């Protein structure tokens, strides 16, 4: 299979790429945590809108990688520093917003007539647009497409576009399967969050802290 993929699509080690992609996708990251939050608060449909934003964001990163932007970032530490600083600040801001909402929800837990809602995602926010931005600034995705993704494309292959399309398809299939599981889990949690304010606020606090951690990880990321 590896020999066939190399000869026909210019992929140097297909099964290593598949296994590596699965393990990387399964690692908790901003994309999956945001989609889980959306599904838990707003249901399956909104969860899939968020997932579509993730898919588009990953597709854009794939195209940029294929176009040579990954090599440009590796060759220009200053440009990579600017990109990662902006991304880290945005992820940390989302985390602080989640924590602030969790504290507000917790302070209202004793007030009558106040419904218990999961607060990681605002009701007025478009899940697609926000997930798209999060995906584009996702430290795991950025480092994946800069350092891992392009290693499996044979630079001597005559049609590298085919290599990137095949590798991208594998990434999207793995991401779709994982995010679908996340969405279904989130939808199952929704009812519990509506009944239990402390559980809702606790999840919001946890996800917010994770986003701050994602921002810190991106801020300290290197290309080595």
pLDDT digits (tens, 9 = 90+) for 141-168: 777 777 777 778 887 878 878 888 888 9
Is there a domain that residue 204 lies in?
A: yes
Ramachandran region, residue 118 (left: φ > 0; alpha: ψ -120 to 50; beta: rest): beta
Is there a domain that residue 224 lies in?
A: no
pLDDT digits 0-9 by tens, 27-44: 778 888 889 888 888 889
With a cut of 70, which residues of the chain have pLDDT below it?
1-7, 69-74, 102, 105-124, 139, 190-204, 218, 221-224
Is there a domain that residue 149 lies in?
A: yes
In terms of Cα–Cα distance, which of 25, 6, 11 is closest to 140? Answer: 25
Q: Say what the pLDDT of residue 185 is.
A: 87
Q: Say what the pLDDT of residue 131 is.
A: 93
Residues 44 and 156: beta-carbon distance below 8 Å: no
Q: Say what the pLDDT of residue 211 is.
A: 73
Domain containing 52 equals: 2-219
Is there a domain that residue 141 lies in?
A: yes
Is there a domain that residue 26 lies in?
A: yes
pTM value is: 0.73
Is there a domain that residue 8 lies in?
A: yes
Is there a domain that residue 92 lies in?
A: yes
Q: Say what the pLDDT of residue 117 is.
A: 42
Is there a domain that residue 101 lies in?
A: yes
Domains held by the chain: number? 1
């Amino acid at each position: 299979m590896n020999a066939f993929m190399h000869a026909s699509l210019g992929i140097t080690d297909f099964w290593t790429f598949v296994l590596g992609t699965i393990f990387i996708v399964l690692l908790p990251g901003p994309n999956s945590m945001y989609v889980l939050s959306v599904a838990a608060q707003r249901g399956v449909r909104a969860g899939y809108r968020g997932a579509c934003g993730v898919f588009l964001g990953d597709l854009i990163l794939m195209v940029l990688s294929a176009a040579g932007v990954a090599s440009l970032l590796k060759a220009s530490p200053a440009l990579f520093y600017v990109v990662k600083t902006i991304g880290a600040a945005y992820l940390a801001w989302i985390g602080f917003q989640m924590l602030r909402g969790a504290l507000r929800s917790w302070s209202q837990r004793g007030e009558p007539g106040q419904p218990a809602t999961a607060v990681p995602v605002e009701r007025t926010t478009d899940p697609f647009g926000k997930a798209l931005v999060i995906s584009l600034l996702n430290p795991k995705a950025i480092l994946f497409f800069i350092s891992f993704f392009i290693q499996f494309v044979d630079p001597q292959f005559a049609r590298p576009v085919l290599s990137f399309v095949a590798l991208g398809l594998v990434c999207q299939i793995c991401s779709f399967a994982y995010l679908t599981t996340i969405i279904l889990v989130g939808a199952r949690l929704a009812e519990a969050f509506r009944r239990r304010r402390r559980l809702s606020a606790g999840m919001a606090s946890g996800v917010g802290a994770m986003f701050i951690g994602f921002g810190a990880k991106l801020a300290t990321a290197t290309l080595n």
